[in-house]
Structure 1
Amino acid sequence: MKIKDIFKNKTSMNTENTDKDPIENEIENVLNEVETAEELSVEEQLQKELANEKDKFIRLFAEFENFKKRTTKERIDLFKTANQEVLQAMLPVLDDFDRAMTQISKSGDETLAKGVALIHEKLKSTLVAKGLEQVEIKAGDSFDADFAEAITQIPAPSEDLKGKIVDVVEKGYKLGDKIIRFPKVVIGN
């Protein structure tokens, strides 16, 4: 029961006095103001709750959008590198093929060299079609640990090769922008 209701019950019980006392008028005015303030505070509370719920909704929506973007990016990256394991398994075969090509070209049998060269090119073109690229590093380039793996250092054959790549022992390959095998190099010091 509200204060105003209590006050009205008390004044209705006092029926012999029909004129309102100025104090009673003042009390009634104060009670009306309190009731209005209570209504405003309830309205303000509802406005605050609504603002909080809107804020929660906006944050949840933004979080969901970020989740969608992240999973889409991860899915695209997965599709780009889906062949990575297969291609990594094929790299030693490609290396063996390169070594075989070198030895066959030394043998002098031109028909054998030509036939193996065709097969070698077909294998390379198939791997390139699947996204494999060779990391371009050659002797004389500056050594960068982000793109090559130094396996040893040897005394530089000349002054201009100090701190640079002297020899490439194993070729490096990348799939898209990601290096899947770093080239192994020898550095001069």
Structure 2
Amino acid sequence: MSQAEQNINPENLEETLDPNAQTSQEIESQNEPETQPSPEELIQIEKDKYLRLFAEFENYKKRTTKERLDLFKTANQEMILAMIPLLDDFERGMGEIQKSQDTELVKGVELIQNKLVGILDSKGLKKQEVKSGDPFDADKHEAITQIPAPTEDLKDKIIDIIETGYTLNDKIIRYAKVVVGK
């Protein structure tokens, strides 16, 4: 006889073999009379369930409506982000073209640039208004580098704008890249 067989107690064996055997606690709980809720209490419980479900559904409708509006506002964000470098190129190009003597060329490029800016503006794209001397705000600007401030009043202020920042429907999609005085 192995050691495992010797450790088996006949009393333990009977308990594990009889799945219908009830403990004394189960028998006592069955002997206690069960109290059924009154019909008024049942109605109140069902009303409570209904009100909770109704409130949950109303919250669901509000949340999905808000999510849908947010999706429509930012649906073309990727396309607009891809067009921002084009705006930068137009600005750099306009700086060079204005040095030219050909006024008709300047007017034509300005017309195209203004149409592009107008279209993007109608979609919610706005240029951040940043100028030299403005205080640096880490929530709106990205400091590329810090240089010694030429004057004491330019400490912790923007000295130069490297790249323009943009917002789409009041959400920053590209931070203005700036040089800050220290």
TM-score by length of 1: 0.74
Paired residue total:
149
User: How big is the shift at 1:144?
Assistant: 0.9
Partners of 2:41 and 2:178 in 1: how far apart?
66
1:63 aligned residue (49, 56, 71): 56
1:147 aligns with 2:140: yes
Flag structure 2 segments of 5+ consecutive residues without an equivalent. 1-32
Find the residue that maps to 1:70 and give its secondary structure: helix
User: How big is the shift at 1:46?
Assistant: 2.7
The residue aligned with 2:12 is none
Partners of 2:144 and 2:154 in 1: how far apart?
16
1:178 aligned residue (165, 171, 181): 171
Partners of 1:187 and 1:159 in 2: how far apart?
13
Paired residues for 1:19-38 under 5 Å: none
Superposed CA deviations along residues 22-66 of structure 1, whole A, max 9, x for unmatched, are xxxxxxxxxxxxxxxx9xx65x53322222221111111111101
Find the residue that maps to 1:144 and give its secondary structure: coil
The residue aligned with 1:91 is 84
Partners of 2:113 and 2:100 in 1: how far apart?
17
The residue aligned with 2:43 is 50
Partners of 1:162 and 1:66 in 2: how far apart?
49
Larger Rg: 1
1:106 aligns with 2:123: no
Partners of 1:174 and 1:152 in 2: how far apart?
22
Runs of 4+ in 1 over 6 A off after TM superposition: none
Partners of 2:53 and 2:100 in 1: how far apart?
70
Flag structure 1 segments of 5+ consecutive residues without an equivalent. 1-37
The residue aligned with 2:113 is 120
1:150 is matched by which residue type in structure 2? A
TM-score by length of 2: 0.77
Find the residue that maps to 2:80 and give its secondary structure: helix
The residue aligned with 2:5 is none
- In terms of fraction of residues, the more helix-rich structure is 1
Superposed CA deviations along residues 97-130 of structure 1, whole A, max 9, x for unmatched, are 1100001112332221121111111111111112
Superposed CA deviations along residues 169-189 of structure 1, whole A, max 9, x for unmatched, are 111111111111111111100
Q: CA RMSD in A?
A: 1.5
Partners of 1:140 and 1:108 in 2: how far apart?
33
- Which range moved further: 179-188 or 49-58? 49-58
1:187 is matched by which residue type in structure 2? V
The residue aligned with 2:159 is 166
The residue aligned with 1:77 is 70
Find the residue that maps to 2:38 and give its secondary structure: helix
Partners of 2:155 and 2:60 in 1: how far apart?
49
